A and B are shown apart, each in its own frame.
Chain A
Amino acid sequence: MSLLQIHEPGQTPEPHATGAAVGIDLGTTNSVVAIADAGKVDVVRDAKGSALVPSIVAYTDEGVVVGEAARWMLLDEPDRVVASVKRLMGRSAVDIKALAGTLPYDIAQDGADGGMVRLAVAGRTLSPVEVSADILREVKARAEHALGRPVDRAVVTVPAYFDDAARGATKDAARLAGLEVLRLVNEPTAAALAYGLDKGVEGLYVVYDLGGGTFDVSLLILEKGVFRVVATGGDAALGGDDFDRAVAELFLAERGPETLTSAEAKLVLQSARLAKECLSWQDQGCWAVEIGGRATSHRLDIARLEAAIAPMVERTIALTERVLVEADVTPGEVSGVVLVGGSTRVPLVRRRVAALFGREPLADINPDEVVAAGAALQAEALTVGSGTLLLDVTPLSLGVETMGGLVEKIIPRNAPIPLAQAQEFTTYQDGQTAMMIHVVQGERETVEACRSLARFELHGIPPLVAGAARIRVTFAVDADGLLTVTATERATGIEAEVAVKPSYGLGDGEIERMLRESMVHARDDMTRRLLIEARVEAERALLAVKGALAADGDLLDVASRAPIEGAIAALHDAVKGTDRDAIVTATEALEAAGAPFAQARMDRGIGRALSGVAVDRLAERLDRGANKAATR
């Protein structure tokens, strides 16, 4: 397949004749990719038979490493490794600061533009979208390897409780990884699809999905191939990671007060995770923590583990009860409860779910793979066709800010999607021609307690007396759960398409830049070598010019010296970056700026200053540069 396929505008060729469509579960802890063929699912596995690709990315000098290998690097070079990046999707720097304690991320300081949070990793500044794209590239490559053909389309799953910003960020990440997103499907819905089809069950089912970083609970009606979500709830920041943190806090309390770096926090969390996992099948154990050259040993048994994580488990149970109450369903009316997500292996979780429903939950599926399997089935249904139908709902209410910072709900949660809801607004001042609309997502009554999705201004409202203009704003939520807004002034019929710029998303320009960057990364090895060579050349040129200035600076007056100093400063800046082209350009600029100076030195025709090798080199290089310039 050629790298680029060019189509005439308006002509739709046989769409994607060669690329395969896969299902991807982009998880907080692990990611899984699967392919369905004629309703049969194949989960892609590595040589050892594991389907789980740890969602961990290491940024090494040799390139980007994803998965198990990156996990190992977490121990040696934690500051080059990013884990659990899903928790940051669609989040702002302010959101992250609001989280208490030492975080296993280095938040970049320069990204404080009010947009999405940026991470400082191994000298680079990365957005969670780029890190997620690296994970997606890896699972895409694995699928391509397993299939023996290119993969260019995917159903990607997201937590049902993901808000608009996090959904948008996930879609952007897939785009960066070279995947067309056929559909964002909610994780519990995907699980229900795979489970329902596999077991051939019908009735009212609850999917309890506790993953590494997110908790979802969905109530669905399964009937004749139709998987209809009735209600959904959850917490986009509650998962196995929080269990790890609770255990890590026990260990740290035993060690006494100390200040942790983010790298050290990652190490403690690793030990804590190991302890938690071991206690799923053994009663107790002893785990080592070594930070700052001080090693300590920590004994943990099931009772202490469960006491530490109980508040979080209780919260999931309460959220489950809430979904039932809101749907007017009693636990007894539920035909079955399906457990999804690695964290449902924790015995306390299983016991509490069983107690709530008065029955053992269904665990006759692999909780780690069922979401990807459902995504793969849906990818096939969307591209090839099938008799199944997924009908989902909005997880969170959408509203607009009204006077006094209050929220007027426009779209309630648990409304079936896609949907379109129009609302009329009017002006409150005579002659008012513009109006600010602030869209928020959440269940609370005040704007502050909800999540800000977008602010936009409507212009061109005809100047009328207050209350006369009738502005009809339509809020549409598509099948991916993403919001778009359009507005029309009804009195005059002026229509305005409003581009909603998400408060925490990425602008189109940013996405384009990342796409460009990602293409550079695709040729990583070569690029890296070229970059290093360019830097070496640049350093040599800088050294040479500085040496020459020190020796023969008296040849230059202020006016002729300024362009050389400017070129030196520019090259210094370029060398700090990783843009090879910029370095080469700046080096050439320095050579060009220095050419008259070099000529003057030659003219001086004296040997006293030509004492250093560096200066000889400069002369050679300047000659070369002049020749090059002449041949252009």
Chain B
Amino acid sequence: MNRRDGDVGGTCWSCGSAVPGDGLFCAACGVVQAPGEADHFARLGLPTGFAVDAVALERAYVERQRRLHPDRFVTRAARERRLSAEQSAAVNEAYATLKQPLERARYLLRLAGRAVAGEDGATIDDPAVLVEAMETREALAEADSTAAVGAVAARTAAAVAGCRDDLALAFAASDLDAAARLTTRLGYLTKLADEVRRRRVGLIGVAS
């Protein structure tokens, strides 16, 4: 989201008053402001970190959407309607990023200025990760029943949960090298979980 509505310096685009607090609305005239450049954590009013309280995330998300969703601005001026759509989209993006552990971890690494493996040309050089991925792929290829795919799904889910816990410890200890490595692993595991899900959908036997 870019700041193209003259809200630089936190003044209201409509009346020129200073915009206080969370910067969403002008205290003087009440109109919605442009989303600005806040990071995803700030946008949802959550502390920056890998450990995100799921309940707090949901609550913050719904609370922001209650105030910013375009449905609240249908009878307002065109510019307010557009800004509300931008605000609402920014909240959706923040929510979607922070809700998924993998996206959250990647986002934190980017905030810390770290290259994320698999992105921006960074390469994956952890042999353990590659071996693990290959083994799971083989197991999935051999699984030919709902039960067998379900077993692979359960194993993958357990691996994802374990990796997530390790990641939380690494971030808590500010060990960004470990966090980067674990994020790469989580990326692979998540891809595998997606493949397993696709296999399960495939077993339902419905074309998209």
Contact = CB atoms under 8 A, between A and B. Distances in A.
Interface in A1-60: 12, 15
Contacts of B71: 183, 378, 381-382, 389-390, 479
A5 B69 CA distance: 29
Nearest to B66: A389
Contact of B204 (A183, A321, A381): A321
A479 B65 contact: no
A418 B62 contact: no
A278 B33 CA distance: 58
Contacts of A15: 75
A315 interface: yes
A420 B89 contact: yes
A417 B200 CA distance: 27
Contacts of B96: 415-416
A479 B66 CA distance: 14
Given A226-B62, A389-B65, A476-B89, A418 B201 contact: no
B187 interface: no
B161 interface: no
B69 A479 contact: yes
A479 B70 contact: yes
A442 interface: yes
Interface string B177-207: 0000000000000000000010011001110
Interface string A383-426: 10000011100000000000000000000000111111100000
Interface residues of B, number: 26
A415 B85 contact: no
Nearest to A381: B71
Given A182-B74, A322-B201, A383-B75, A443 B69 contact: no
B66 A478 contact: no
B92 A416 contact: yes
A318 interface: yes
Contact of A12 (B1, B77, B85): B77
Contact of B89 (A322, A325, A418): A418
Interface in B31-88: 62, 65-66, 69-71, 74-75, 77, 85-86, 88
A319 interface: yes
Interface string A231-255: 0000000000000000000000000
Contacts of B200: 325
Interface string A437-449: 0000011100000
A290 interface: no
Q: Do most interface residues of chain B lie in helix, strand or loop, or is the interface mixed? A: helix
A326 interface: yes
Contact of A418 (B92, B95, B208): B92
Contacts of A390: 71
Given A391-B69, A416-B95, A417-B92, A479 B204 contact: no
Contact of A389 (B1, B62, B95, B204): B62
B75 A382 contact: yes
B2 to A, nearest CB: 9
Nearest to A226: B62
Contact of B74 (A383, A391, A421): A383
Interface in A320-338: 321-322, 325-326, 328
B206 A322 contact: yes
B93 interface: yes
Contacts of B204: 318, 321-322, 325
B173 to A, nearest CB: 30
B1 A420 contact: yes
B201 A325 contact: yes
Contacts of A476: 85, 89
Contacts of A415: 92, 96
Contacts of A326: 197, 201
Contacts of A378: 71
B40 to A, nearest CB: 14
B79 to A, nearest CB: 11
Contact of A382 (B66, B74, B201, B206): B74
Contacts of B88: 418, 479
Contacts of A383: 74-75
A321 B89 CA distance: 29
B56 to A, nearest CB: 15
B44 to A, nearest CB: 13
B75 A420 contact: no
A419 B93 contact: yes
Given A325-B201, A326-B197, A326-B201, A420 B74 contact: no
A319 B206 contact: yes
Contacts of B201: 322, 325-326
A547 to B, nearest CB: 61
B43 to A, nearest CB: 14
Nearest to B78: A12
B86 A420 contact: yes
Nearest to A180: B74
Interface string A188-222: 00000000000000000000000000000000000
A39 B5 CA distance: 36
A626 B71 CA distance: 62
Nearest to B71: A382
Contacts of A389: 62, 65-66, 69, 71
B85 A479 contact: yes
A622 to B, nearest CB: 56
Nearest to B95: A416
Contact of B70 (A228, A325, A478): A478
Interface string B126-139: 00000000000000
Given A325-B204, A416-B92, A476-B89, 20 more contacts: A15-B75, A226-B62, A315-B206, A318-B204, A319-B206, A322-B201, A325-B197, A382-B71, A382-B74, A382-B75, A391-B65, A415-B96, A418-B85, A419-B92, A420-B90, A420-B93, A442-B208, A443-B208, A476-B85, A478-B70
Interface of A: 12, 15, 182-183, 226, 228, 315, 318-319, 321-322, 325-326, 328, 378, 381-383, 389-391, 415-421, 442-444, 476, 478-479
Interface of B: 1, 62, 65-66, 69-71, 74-75, 77, 85-86, 88-90, 92-93, 95-96, 197, 200-201, 204-206, 208
11 contacts: A183-B71, A322-B201, A378-B71, A382-B75, A383-B75, A391-B62, A415-B92, A416-B92, A418-B85, A420-B93, A421-B93
Pairs of residues from A and B, 10 with the lowest C-beta to C-beta distance, nearest first: A318-B206, A443-B208, A382-B74, A420-B89, A416-B92, A479-B70, A418-B89, A418-B85, A321-B204, A419-B89
